[in-house]
């Protein structure tokens, strides 16, 4: 339906269209990508798929350079449209034009990101960051233009204009983003606000340089084979100076997460564990040389974030953050987090006591300290559940896991996934798939995705110990007749000869999580890319589908579906299935308290002016049974808050996990053999959480599915925590 109304001519003297303010991002989590012809995007073939066989850094840089300039010029030209048209159609004249021009840029951005994650020999970090930062600056112009902001705000508030629900949501996005960009402020206040934003961007880069400097400067080389004799082979390949001879050594230990975490779990040398632990927690603190100290920097950032929020009329930065969160307000969030803490904390006391007893039974004679937890908990977990990777991995060959996962997706959502050979790929390991909506057609795909499963050393980006990436390349867009396209990129063990890729159970969890994330992008039915898939979804709702899919892994029927011994073809033994199910609750109190502590620390840092040191000392004992160590100053290396995008938003993972648990409970309430009801509920989940994108707020979508507001109890039940402890 056309949307027309008379608009006053709006002068734009306050803002220069080409002077684009920097944003740290409140809403847009992922590129909102649409369809482009090869004329608009030289990186696409005639079938509108990326020409990965011939893409180079130079082509990406040239394409993003041209497209960003064209997009910014188009935004600039809309000023003339606004001033010259007597009856302005905000969608046909403005928003459709923006989307049509923006989507080729987003596609180039998505292609570059995919290569950055999947083939660093083609797209190294330095080259990608240049493309990424240029694209962000251009994208910001959508939401930092005063003329567009006023027109969209007037259209949204004009009750005489007939808007569809989706159109209202699109306008709401632009108005909210514009407001968070300070566009509702008067000239002087706006200038001060933008000074805050620019300052914070500068300080974030300053912190990142300090963090990377402190991280990169530290390493320890191990020559003693006895220390590494219990290390997994794949980990030895990662840390060996010669990966081709992982058992010979020497082995290099750094503070990178994918090295640090497994090292702390497997290292038997307690003094060495304590040394590495301390190196980790003192990063960027006053215990290090001045060039990498960040305590002052983070306090400066806290102060400016407070000023930034107060200029927009909020008490503090955390309150401002609630505008883009499903939790809605600080009171609701704090009540929920406290409910979880009050149950998890007493359980943690029992867990630490049990772990101490376990360690002492095996010759440990000292007091348990924080650097002992990962090591002894791994040993206790294996003792209780016989869940070593060497035991489980032979039952999880990647082809079998994928086949079972695809079968379950088809059963639940009536969607078929079939491999296709029609696309260029960036490496011989990469596969390409068509996604068919069987409700519509089994011949014409509604979406596509690439799968790049195997680790390739330095050729692939890696950060966490178990990393997986969903890189969007195109989004759903009716305006541009575009179907979703993305890449799923992992670091699973590659096949060796006739031996297939064998996944650890953690690998299987990551696979299910990322497919859940991908399905929300691939199966959206929303017509505007601005609110399709994951675009404009609240930050604390963006991982809901990830955890929803992971929840199925603890069902015996699912474990049987995705497993088979790669040599004997025997099914996963019943006792192992039971162990996996029970293993979920192991150390659940400690793990939940750790995430709750970091979430609460983040919120306190961004709602209080208290110096971070006393804040940390006050919060720690509320969440941990073990005391805070004297030299533990982990706030200084809380990278997600200071150079990442998660300030006042770190709780998002827990919130998403809580919502996913509640949604999954609906399936548990159905009898396991009632396939009809399972499929009916699966269709309802698809029609809500997978289809609706952000065309409705996440809380409203939840109510559409569950018929009520969410409860934290489902999460506690999922991980084996109850309201009473003996």
First to last CA, the chain: 62
The SS3 call for residue 489 is strand
Give the up-direction half-sphere exposure of residue 421: CA atoms within 13 A in the CB hemisphere.
0
Q: What is the pLDDT of residues 305-337, one digit of tens each?
A: 999 999 999 999 999 999 999 999 999 999 999
Task: Map tokens 């390949």 to a residue.
Answer: 237
pLDDT higher for 5 or 62? 62
pLDDT > 60? residue 31? no
pLDDT > 90? residue 28? no
Q: What pLDDT shows up at residue 4?
A: 34
pLDDT > 70? residue 478? yes
- Residue 88 host element (H or E): strand 87-89
pLDDT > 50? residue 467? yes
Q: What does the alpha-carbon distance between residue 503 and residue 398 come to, in Å, rounded to a whole number? A: 6
The SS3 call for residue 5 is strand
pLDDT higher for 107 or 27? 107
Q: What is the pLDDT of residues 497-550, one digit of tens each?
A: 999 999 999 999 999 999 999 999 999 999 999 999 999 999 999 999 999 999
CA 6 from centre of chain: 42
Q: What pLDDT shows up at residue 42?
A: 84
Confidence of residue 23 (pLDDT cuts 50, 70, 90): very low
Query: What is the average pLDDT across 460-476?
Result: 86
Q: What pLDDT shows up at residue 673?
A: 85
Query: What is the average pLDDT across 392-419?
Result: 98
Q: What pLDDT shows up at residue 17?
A: 29
How much is the pTM? 0.93
Q: What pLDDT shows up at residue 45?
A: 92
- Of residues 556, 471, 543, the one with CA closest to residue 513: 543
pLDDT > 60? residue 29? no
Query: What is the average pLDDT across 197-212?
Result: 96
Nearest 5°: the CA angle 59, 60, 62 is 65
Confidence of residue 212 (pLDDT cuts 50, 70, 90): very high
Q: What pLDDT shows up at residue 597?
A: 98
Q: What pLDDT shows up at residue 461?
A: 87
Average model confidence (pLDDT) across the chain: 92
Helix intervals (H) in 468-504:
none
Please, what's the largest Cα pairwise distance for the chain?
Answer: 84
Residues of the chain with pLDDT > 70, as a percent, come to 94
Task: Map tokens 């050979």 to a residue.
Answer: 421
Task: Map tokens 């951005």 to a residue.
Answer: 109
pLDDT > 70? residue 16? no
Burial of 708 (0-12, 13-18, 19+ CB in 10 A): exposed
pLDDT > 70? residue 22? no
The SS3 call for residue 513 is helix
Q: What pLDDT shows up at residue 386?
A: 85
Q: What pLDDT shows up at residue 39?
A: 59
Q: What pLDDT shows up at residue 704?
A: 96
Helix axis angle for 146-157 and 57-84, nearest 10°, is 60
Confidence of residue 686 (pLDDT cuts 50, 70, 90): very high
pLDDT > 80? residue 191? yes
Query: What is the average pLDDT across 216-221?
Result: 96
Cα-only R_g, the chain: 26
Confidence of residue 465 (pLDDT cuts 50, 70, 90): low
Query: What is the average pLDDT across 403-421?
Result: 98
Output the six-digit token pair for 4: 């027309």
Query: What is the average pLDDT across 366-376?
Result: 98
Helix intervals (H) in 562-650:
574-583, 588-605, 612-623, 639-642
Confidence of residue 108 (pLDDT cuts 50, 70, 90): very high
Q: What pLDDT shows up at residue 249?
A: 86
Specify the DSSP class assigned to residue 477: B
Number of neighbouring beta carbons within 10 Å of residue 402: 20
Q: What pLDDT shows up at residue 466?
A: 66
């Amino acid at each position: 339906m056309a949307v027309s109304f008379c608009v006053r001519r709006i002068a734009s003297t306050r803002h220069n269209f080409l002077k684009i303010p920097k944003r740290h991002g409140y809403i847009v989590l992922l590129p909102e990508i649409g369809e482009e012809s090869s004329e608009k995007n030289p990186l696409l073939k005639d079938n509108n798929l990326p020409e990965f066989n011939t893409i180079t850094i130079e082509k990406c840089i040239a394409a993003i350079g041209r497209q960003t300039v064209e997009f910014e010029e188009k935004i600039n030209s809309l000023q003339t449209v606004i001033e010259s048209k007597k009856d302005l159609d905000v969608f046909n004249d403005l928003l459709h034009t923006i989307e049509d021009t923006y989507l080729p840029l987003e596609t180039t951005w998505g292609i570059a990101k995919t290569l950055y994650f999947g083939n660093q020999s083609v797209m190294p970090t330095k080259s990608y960051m240049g493309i990424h930062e240029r694209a962000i600056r251009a994208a910001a112009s959508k939401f930092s233009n005063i003329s567009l902001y006023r027109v969209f705000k007037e259209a949204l508030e004009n009750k005489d204009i007939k808007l569809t629900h989706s159109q209202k949501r699109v306008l709401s996005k632009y108005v909210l983003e514009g407001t968070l960009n300070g566009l509702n402020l008067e000239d002087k206040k706006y200038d001060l606000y933008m000074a805050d934003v620019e300052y914070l961007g500068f300080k974030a880069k300053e912190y990142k340089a300090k963090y990377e400097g402190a991280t990169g400067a530290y390493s320890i080389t191990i020559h003693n084979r006895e220390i590494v004799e219990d290390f997994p082979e794949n980990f030895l390949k990662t840390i060996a100076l010669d990966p081709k001879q992982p058992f010979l050594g020497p082995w290099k230990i750094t503070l990178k997460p994918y090295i640090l975490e497994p090292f702390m779990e497997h290292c038997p040398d307690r003094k060495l564990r304590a040394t590495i632990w301390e190196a980790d927690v003192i990063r960027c603190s006053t215990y290090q040389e001045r060039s990498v100290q960040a305590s002052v920097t983070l306090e400066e950032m806290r102060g400016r974030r407070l000023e930034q929020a107060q200029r927009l009329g909020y008490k503090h930065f955390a309150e401002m953050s609630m505008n883009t969160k499903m939790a809605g307000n600080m009171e609701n969030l704090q009540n929920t987090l406290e409910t979880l803490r009050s149950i998890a904390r007493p359980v943690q006391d029992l867990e630490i006591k049990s772990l101490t007893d376990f360690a002492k039974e095996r010759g440990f004679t000292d007091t348990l300290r924080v650097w002992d937890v990962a090591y002894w908990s791994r040993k206790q977990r294996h003792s209780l559940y016989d869940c070593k990777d060497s035991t489980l991995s032979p039952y999880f060959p990647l082809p079998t896991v994928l086949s079972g996962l695809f079968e379950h997706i088809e059963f639940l959502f009536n969607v078929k996934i079939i491999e296709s050979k029609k696309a260029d790929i960036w490496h011989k390991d990469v596969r390409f798939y068509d996604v068919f909506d069987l409700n519509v057609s089994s011949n014409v795909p509604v979406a596509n995705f690439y799968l790049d499963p195997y680790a390739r050393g330095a050729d692939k980006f890696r950060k966490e110990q178990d990393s997986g990436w969903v890189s969007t390349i195109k989004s759903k867009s009716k305006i541009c007749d575009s179907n979703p396209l993305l890449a799923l990129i992992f670091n699973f063990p590659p096949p060796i000869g006739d031996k297939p890729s064998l996944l650890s159970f953690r690998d299987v969890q990551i696979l299910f999580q990322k497919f859940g994330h991908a399905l929300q992008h691939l199966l959206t039915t929303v017509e505007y890319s601005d609110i399709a898939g994951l675009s404009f979804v609240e930050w604390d709702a963006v991982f809901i589908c990830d955890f929803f899919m992971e929840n199925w892994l603890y069902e015996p029927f699912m474990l049987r579906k995705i497993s088979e011994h790669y040599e004997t073809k025997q099914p996963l033994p019943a006792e192992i299935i039971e162990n996996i199910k029970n293993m979920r609750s192991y150390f659940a109190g400690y793990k939940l308290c750790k995430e709750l502590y970091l979430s609460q620390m983040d919120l306190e840092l961004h709602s209080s002016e208290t110096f971070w040191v006393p804040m940390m000392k006050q919060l720690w004992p509320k969440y941990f049974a073990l005391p805070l160590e004297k030299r533990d100053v982990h706030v200084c290396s809380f990278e997600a808050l200071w150079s990442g995008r998660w300030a006042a938003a770190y709780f998002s993972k827990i919130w998403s996990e809580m919502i996913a648990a509640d949604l999954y409970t609906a399936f548990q309430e159905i009898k396991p053999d009632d396939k009809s009801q399972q499929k009916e509920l699966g269709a309802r989940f698809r029609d809500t959480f997978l289809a609706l994108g952000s065309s409705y707020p996440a809380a409203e979508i939840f109510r559409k599915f569950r018929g009520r507001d969410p409860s934290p109890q489902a999460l506690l039940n999922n991980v084996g925590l109850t309201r009473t402890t003996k």
